[in-house]
Amino acid sequence: MNDINLDISGNLDPIIKNASAILTPISQGIAGAFAYVLQKPIEYGIVKEIENEALAKATRDKFNLIPQENIDFSNIPLLTKLLEDSIYQLSSEEFRDLYSSLIVSSIDKTKEVKPFYSSLIKDMSPNEAKLMNYFFEHQLLFEVLLTSDNPFFVTEGTYRYYWEPQYFQLTGKPDTATYRDFDKENFYENLFIPQKDFYQLNTPESFLFLLNNGIIEQDYSERWNGIFPSLKKFLLTNDEKALNLIVENKSLKYPIEFKPQYKAYKLSSLGKELKSILYLE
């Protein structure tokens, strides 16, 4: 093992002494990196000492899980970037968990931490980090774009509407056997229960961040079709415009047709890389 020593003496000690005491038994280099990067942010109140200490403890606890033969301190210079990127997010336990995983993975020779990983996390909001962690555990998210039309109505386009896309998360891990589509819509629309089996994502902008940054991608397989009737039923019974159209349908000779469009999303190759680094089970 090659441990890199940074000077943590002098006026750094009163500010980072707790974190230093936690980390020095692991590595003088890690303790020095914490001291070097976080001294001024702590001194000026950007980072609280208790947050610094919590990050140090999380790092120590995860470090203790690495097999001794996998420990390699030669990548410690990367720690300065990881810690610099973390400065404005350390008040969040969720972000401390992500950064401590990055730090520990950077000294595990079986893993490769790329510098831009911390740049991605630095640009995340808490909701975006939470949704990324959701994908690490539950694998799938569903998009439903509800549309309606009545092609037989005398004035073309009268009942042609497009709703904003809605997104749904699973409460458990997907089961491909359960989600098989046997064209039994009436059966499947009651098979998956809101809150018990799925729930609606209320922060669609967090989904767009993960998609636009290549962390997730569309899943083009048809293994998940069985859940779609339940999502359609949920929207038609909880959307005010849809409910009004359903009522109006009763007086129409030719009924309005609702035609949802469905998509499923999964981790991309980049997302899987991040999971291997950040999701330390």
**Per-residue b or e along 51-89, where b marks 16 or more CB atoms closer than 10 Å to that residue's CB:** bbbbbbbbbbebbeebeeeebbbebbebbebbbbbbbeb
Terminal CA-CA length for the chain: 25
Residues 154 and 260 in one domain: yes
Asked if the structure places residue 65 within a domain, the reply is: yes
Asked if the structure places residue 3 within a domain, the reply is: no
DSSP for 133-192, written as a single string: HHHHHH--EEEEE-EEE-TTSSSTTTT-EEPPPEEEEESS---TTTT---S-HHHHTTTS
pLDDT at 278: 95
Residues 186 and 109 in one domain: no
Last residue of a domain, one of 63, 93, 123: 123
Q: Per residue in 100-127, pLDDT tens?
A: 999 999 999 999 999 999 999 999 999 9
Residues 116 and 141 in one domain: no
Asked if the structure places residue 73 within a domain, the reply is: yes
Q: Is the pLDDT of residue 31 over 50?
A: yes
Residues 214 and 151 in one domain: yes
Q: Is the pLDDT of residue 90 over 50?
A: yes
Residues 28 and 113 in one domain: yes
At 6, the pLDDT band (50, 70, 90 cuts) reads: very low
Last residue of a domain, one of 78, 99, 123: 123
Residues 203 and 142 in one domain: yes
Range of weakest confidence among 119-123, 150-154, 265-269:
150-154
Backbone angles phi, psi at 90, to 5 degrees: -75, -10
- Element (DSSP H or E) covering residue 267: strand 261-267
Q: Is the pLDDT of residue 69 over 80?
A: yes
Structurally, the chain folds into a number of domains equal to 2
Number of H helices, E strands in the chain: 12, 8
Asked if the structure places residue 129 within a domain, the reply is: no
The residues, ordered by sequence, that sit 6+ positions from 250 with a Cβ below 8 Å of its Cβ are none
Asked if the structure places residue 278 within a domain, the reply is: no
Q: Per residue in 215-243, pLDDT tens?
A: 999 999 877 788 899 999 999 999 998 89
Residues 142 and 265 in one domain: yes
pLDDT at 17: 60
Residues 84 and 142 in one domain: no
Residues 143 and 258 in one domain: yes
**Chain mean pLDDT for the chain:** 85
Residues 103 and 151 in one domain: no
Domain, as residue range, for 87? 10-123
Range of weakest confidence among 47-51, 242-246, 250-254:
250-254
